[in-house]
Structure 1
Amino acid sequence: MTSNPEWGEKTSGLEVASTYAQYIKGRNVLITGVAPAGVGEGTAIAFASQKPATLILVSRTKEKLDSVASHIRESYPEVDIRVVTIDLASQASIRKAAAEVAGIISKLDILVNNAGATYNARRWTAEGIEIQFGANHIGPFLFTKLMLPLLKEAAKQSPAGATRIVNLSSHGHRLSTIRFHDYNIENKEVPEEEKPFSPLPPTFGRIQEDGYMPTIAYSQSKTANVLFTLYLQEHLQANGIMSTDQLIVRIGVDSQLGREHDEEMADAIAKTSTFWKNCDQGASTTLVAALDPALNTRGGLYLADCQFFPSADFAKDPNIAERLWYLSEDLIGEKFNLE
């Protein structure tokens, strides 16, 4: 259970940050996927409100980063705001960004893997990986690996569980497990256990002329976020980066995530929720995952609306998580050692 069971879908990120101010002040925080009018901006503003030592904003477009940073500096001039550009669809860009971060801070207390994207047509990462799987999972997988030395350094100086990795997922993960026989979504034959949830609504089950299934690609990537977190939970406790702290956050926010959706898809997604949060409300669950002291010990995996929430059964399977881990290592070309 979280410390504040009365919090829910309308809870403000600023309120959560104020409640847990002592766990923000003087600490180093990094947030990926920061852009104006998005959940990343709401998350960054909430953290900035309680005087972190360094707040690092990471995203693909420098102009958007600079816009958010300028806005935050106006409101909280005492906070050291840094911006770092990254393209999560390029492993070379990820490595360059990680090196830049290491030149700014010597320890990292909170890593928020907030970045995510959806695409309606097939695209590839620089390494030839389907882009939703590549940018939403493989990119954060590699970036987290490169941030691990900084996280370990923070964990040495903090109470167990206070150093955290927060990965953002979606209830959309329920539509697909990992398609190990077709992770690039080329519409290859897969075993029964890798097939999408059935029956899928027609819009979500859409197959493009080249065999690409955009919703299944997105759902697979969001399942990968949950399984990545599950594996981290199992293996990071010895480092003081407590397993429960790697939590998945569901957000139902009207942001720019679905900017490529056509009218039919946008309408179908709109019908999945009766309440769409603003960016401040959208940030609240991330703040709970990153800060709530009740989460210092392992007690759950997936959060929605500031509380623990059940994920799909396949997203809780340690065997699938381990298999995904090894596939992810293969796709970055090196081992991710958690020792």
Structure 2
Amino acid sequence: MGPAAGWIQETTGTEVAEAFKRNIKGKTILITGVSPISLGESTALAIARHGPAKLLLVSRTESKLQHVADKIAKINPNVKVDLIVVDLSSQTDIRTAARKVFDLTDRLDVLVNNAAVVTSARGETLEGIELQFGTNHIGHHLLTSLLTPLLIAAATASGERGTTRIVNVSSIGYRLSPIRFHDHNFEGKPIPSEEEPPKGIPAHMKPDVAAGRPYYGFTAYGQSKTANILHAVALKEKFLSKGIQAFAVHPGSIWTDLSRNLSAADRKIIEGTSTFWKNQDQGCATTLAAAFDPDLCDAEGPFLSDCHLHDVAEYAKDQVIAENLWQLSEKLTEGKASL
């Protein structure tokens, strides 16, 4: 029985990284969404203490990346850190960033898809995809597909099944919505009942086309977080035989800079959703467990919370739904995982 057996919601990323420091040492790790006051920052700092070969830090703002890199230099000046600026709402930007990653490394041991956006108002990516779905899932789907050769190279070199990992930072907020295959863009198109928000979601917290409200930010966020889990399901199915393991995680309830685009009313709603709020260090613990816990090498479940495997609703783990989402994602990225 590994150290995770005793971990609870108060467990910190510092503790998890210390427990798995042998699994971190010498690894090449890429983390998206790295900026001050973020889970990306706390994840990077916890890893940096234990001698990774290289950290590739990805975000849309160079100055914010540099701020985190400066902190890493103080913690462990021997860690090689590369900064990659990318806007995950631009597929052109993602392809450019992926080419840079190939220039910087010939292998990738761990990919942490951490970046996200949550917003009250409807927006779109440069390709016209609803912003939260397009950034939180489609952007990471494309980036992961482009970087898969580097992950396969790492898995082949290690020869250890399941130690090469992809970790999608999802949320328990997935419970707000399944994938809306008939209206993923929230354009007011009719959808079947199984794509509606689950029963029990208050009427004021979901779209209402008849009332002239085809979009609701939390429903869109829920769809994107369901997509993060299903992406892990599909990745596990497609690549575990090649030595690559995949998970999605709920980091816990935590205030970060992610909430900056929410309305005052939506921020108030979030304030009432938890009785325990994690700090930054506690918030990255489950991500680190998913990335480095050797007991998870052959785990079948796709989802972790508080460092342990947790079950999810059928619509977030069904293999057929996961494959349907994969096909939609390929269509929305033109099915081209080429640089």
TM-score, normalised via structure 1 length:
0.95
* 2:286 counterpart residue number: 285
Deviation at 1:113, TM superposition (A): 0.2
* 2:69 counterpart residue number: 69
- Alpha carbons 1:39, 1:253 under 8 Å: kept: no
Count of residues in Structure 1 that have an aligned counterpart in Structure 2:
335
Q: Distance in 1 between matches of 2:63 and 2:290?
A: 29
Give 2:13's aligned amino acid.
G
- Alpha carbons 1:173, 1:223 under 8 Å: kept: yes
The one of 208, 216, 237 equivalent to 2:219 is: 216
Deviation at 1:71, TM superposition (A): 1.2
Deviation at 1:64, TM superposition (A): 0.6
What SS does structure 2 have at the residue aligned with 1:5?
Answer: helix
Q: Percent identity?
A: 46
* 1:253 counterpart residue number: 254
Superposed CA offset, 1:139-175 (max 9, x none): 0000000110100000011111110000011111111
Q: Distance in 2 between matches of 1:118 and 1:147?
A: 25
Q: Distance in 1 between matches of 2:103 and 2:282?
A: 33
- Alpha carbons 2:16, 2:288 under 8 Å: kept: yes
Bigger CA drift: 30-39 or 2-11? 2-11
Q: Distance in 1 between matches of 2:120 and 2:212?
A: 12
Q: Distance in 1 between matches of 2:268 and 2:204?
A: 10
Q: Distance in 1 between matches of 2:162 and 2:250?
A: 18
Give 2:236's aligned amino acid.
Q
Q: Distance in 2 between matches of 1:252 and 1:145?
A: 29
* 2:150 counterpart residue number: 150
> Which aligned pairs between 1:307-326 and structure 2 lie closer than 5 A?
307-326=308-327
Q: Distance in 2 between matches of 1:199 and 1:286?
A: 29
* 1:226 counterpart residue number: 229
* 1:174 counterpart residue number: 175
Superposed CA offset, 1:215-263 (max 9, x none): 1111101101111111111111221113xx4333333111111112222
The one of 237, 242, 246 equivalent to 2:240 is: 237
- Alpha carbons 2:251, 2:284 under 8 Å: kept: no
- Alpha carbons 2:13, 2:285 under 8 Å: kept: yes
Q: Distance in 2 between matches of 1:170 and 1:178?
A: 15
Superposed CA offset, 1:167-218 (max 9, x none): 0111111111111110001122101111112332355226695622211111
Runs of 4+ aligned structure 1 residues displaced above 3 Å come to: 206-210
Deviation at 1:3, TM superposition (A): 4.6
Deviation at 1:8, TM superposition (A): 1.3
Q: Distance in 2 between matches of 1:176 and 1:45?
A: 33
Bigger CA drift: 245-254 or 112-121? 245-254
> Which aligned pairs between 1:171-210 and structure 2 lie closer than 5 A?
171-205=172-206
* 2:89 counterpart residue number: 89
Q: Distance in 2 between matches of 1:239 and 1:111?
A: 16
- Alpha carbons 1:137, 1:224 under 8 Å: kept: yes
Give 2:112's aligned amino acid.
V
- Alpha carbons 2:251, 2:285 under 8 Å: kept: no
Q: Distance in 2 between matches of 1:280 and 1:263?
A: 26
What SS does structure 2 have at the residue aligned with 1:248?
Answer: strand
Q: Distance in 2 between matches of 1:332 and 1:75?
A: 39
Give 2:229's aligned amino acid.
V
Deviation at 1:279, TM superposition (A): 0.9
- Alpha carbons 1:108, 1:154 under 8 Å: kept: yes
- Alpha carbons 1:178, 1:194 under 8 Å: kept: yes
Tell me the C-alpha RMSD between the 2 structures: 1.6
- 1:72–1:209 CA distance, 2 compared to 1 (3 A): farther
- 1:211–1:90 CA distance, 2 compared to 1 (3 A): same
Q: Distance in 2 between matches of 1:146 and 1:104?
A: 14
What SS does structure 1 have at the residue aligned with 2:22?
Answer: helix
What SS does structure 1 have at the residue aligned with 2:29?
Answer: strand
Q: Distance in 2 between matches of 1:297 and 1:3?
A: 17
Deviation at 1:81, TM superposition (A): 1.0
What SS does structure 2 have at the residue aligned with 1:259?
Answer: helix
TM-score, normalised via structure 2 length:
0.95
Superposed CA offset, 1:269-315 (max 9, x none): 12111111111110100000000000011232111111111211210
